[in-house]
Amino acid sequence: MIIGIVQGNPVVGDVEGNLEKAKNFILEGDEKGADLILFPELFITGYPPEDLLYNPAFLEKSQKAVMELQFFSKSVKSAIIIGAPNAGNGYRTPDSLKGQPLYNSAIVFHNGEYIAKYDKIYLPNYGVFDEKRYFIEGRENQTGSIFTLKGIKFGLTICEDIWSKRHEYFDPLKECDIILNLSSSPFYQGKFKERIEVVSSFARHFSKKLVYANLVGGQDELVFDGNSMVCNEKGEVTAFYPAFEEGLFFYNTEEIVTVKPERKKYADILEALKLGLKDYVSKNGFNKVVVGLSGGIDSALTAAVAVLALGKENVKGVMMPSKFSSEGSVTDSVKLAENIGIETFQVPIENVFGSFEKELHPVFKDKKPDITEENLQARIRGVILMAFSNKFNWLLLTTGNKSEVSVGYCTLYGDMAGGFSLIKDVLKTDAYKLSEFINETYGELIPQEIIIKEPSAELRENQKDSDSLPEYPVLDKILTSYIEERKTVREICEEMGNEAQVRKIINLVMQNEYKRRQAAPGIKLTPLAFGKDRRVPMTNRFYEK
């Protein structure tokens, strides 16, 4: 039997577009002899649809699309398994939606007939997931989850179901020959290995082949990486499909070859950034992006990734030197722009800054220059960049990294101004390593002068990041331990040995939640990114001793 595995990239809310995309995949699969075509979780609505699920018109449109797909299945030989929200205890029609519980379902059609349905049992409600907010848990031991095609019995599961350790809830799967899983599992570093272990373990537990179809594409801050796979009864991977690539892939159930899929950390990070940015730009109606070029590593990395994702013709750079800018900040930016082939503009801020100083002097005359004047420069640059964005409809990419965002080393309405924060989940140390990986892979896009330069915001004479922060390898170790690994302050102090430094950094993390709440969205790359993953009150007097 030939199974078509769809790694589709739907658009959340575009039910008509997703339906047409589904039909195209089905026609392709049918033409190439697929007996069954398996879609990812909630493909019809896109994932995650979030509070759109509270809108009756949205649910009705989704249900009508599913009915249209049922009718469409008359025209092909392939059986179709689609992921969609479903109201009521059975497969429902739009006129029966009102007042019915809502399920996250997999629905099977063949030859115009509805032949099976499965409602997701385990609804994830952690990190970026809020499924219990919208859906009712499916019944345990759903006998309706088993259907037969060409003498082969298939059992249905959806995403989180196979991550659960409560295998007894899936006893009907013991009667099937092949387990199918519809997934919308987002990417983060380390997820690849973790996911293979989960899929393998579930297949091994039931001694069944398992076909895993995962979503691909960017949706707001999430990136879905595909990496669909098949495991045999022993839990060995027998087929593996491309990462970060949309397409229809085929699995022959007679295949017995095992494979050893491998991924590299910085290759995956780069592909996630490229796909996440490309989809955010295209799905939100932009054509081009603009980046403020400072001569530093973060703006250089942002611009280089944008070119790789969107093409050099769709990326613009703006240089905004001041009296505190080093000569290298301009020349290095010019060299970067030449290397990546983008058009640039130069708008010096000295005169504008002088006007601000002049107008504020009557109020500030008895005060020494401090962070106020530093932030003024950042905010002037933010205003200029937003002017470019507004005038030309270019999406402004902010350039702050996770290390800076964590401790508030960034300016509200200044360098934080913009529509999308591409590297907000990239630590500073990883920004350097990712830049080096890009140069190794594509040639020197990011000048070495930028990579070896000591980091500086250049908002006052001879300023260096290390004036305010520990060296980045130390800072990033503290941040990783506290944010991603959720270690206690005491544990981190014992590991790092400098209690005063550790407590200072963690206090900065806690104090700057208000800034992060006002930051532009950015791509989730780590197991715990700022945003839905970490919900800490802005008004908060908790102090960890």
Per-residue model confidence (pLDDT) at position 268: 94
User: Given this chain, do its domains 2-263 and 281-461 carry the same CATH topology?
Assistant: no
Q: Which residues contact 232 (CB under 8 A, 6 or more apart)?
A: 203, 209, 238, 256, 258
- The residues assigned a catalytic role are 41, 120, 159
Chain segment 337-368, per-residue pLDDT in tens? 999 999 999 999 999 989 998 998 999 988 88
Q: Which residues contact 372 (CB under 8 A, 6 or more apart)?
A: 364
Per-residue model confidence (pLDDT) at position 171: 83
Topology adopted by domain 2-263: Nitrilase/N-carbamoyl-D-aminoacid amidohydrolase (3.60.110)
| CATH code that applies to domain 281-461 | 3.40.50.620
Per-residue model confidence (pLDDT) at position 459: 55
Low-confidence ranges of the chain (pLDDT < 50): 90, 92
Whether the CB-CB separation of 47 and 12 falls below 8 Å is answered with yes
Per-residue model confidence (pLDDT) at position 273: 97
Per-residue model confidence (pLDDT) at position 460: 55
Per-residue model confidence (pLDDT) at position 403: 93
Per-residue model confidence (pLDDT) at position 455: 65
Domain spans, the chain: 2-263, 281-461
Chain segment 377-435, per-residue pLDDT in tens? 899 999 999 999 999 999 999 999 999 999 998 999 999 999 999 999 999 999 999 99
Q: CA separation (Å) from 98 to 95, 139, 171, 396? A: 7, 21, 32, 42
Angle between the N-to-C axes of helices 499-511 and 472-479, in degrees from 0 to 180, rounded to the nearest 10: 70
**Predicted TM-score (pTM) of this structure:** 0.90
Per-residue model confidence (pLDDT) at position 67: 92
Sign of the Cα torsion 446, 416, 533, 401 reads positive
DSSP state of 95: G
Enter the tokens of residue 520. Answer: 């532009």
Question: Hey, which bits of 111-221 come out as E strands?
Answer: 113-119, 146-149, 152-158, 178-183, 209-214, 216-219
Chain segment 99-129, per-residue pLDDT in tens? 678 899 999 999 999 999 999 998 988 878 8
Per-residue model confidence (pLDDT) at position 33: 93
Per-residue model confidence (pLDDT) at position 259: 79
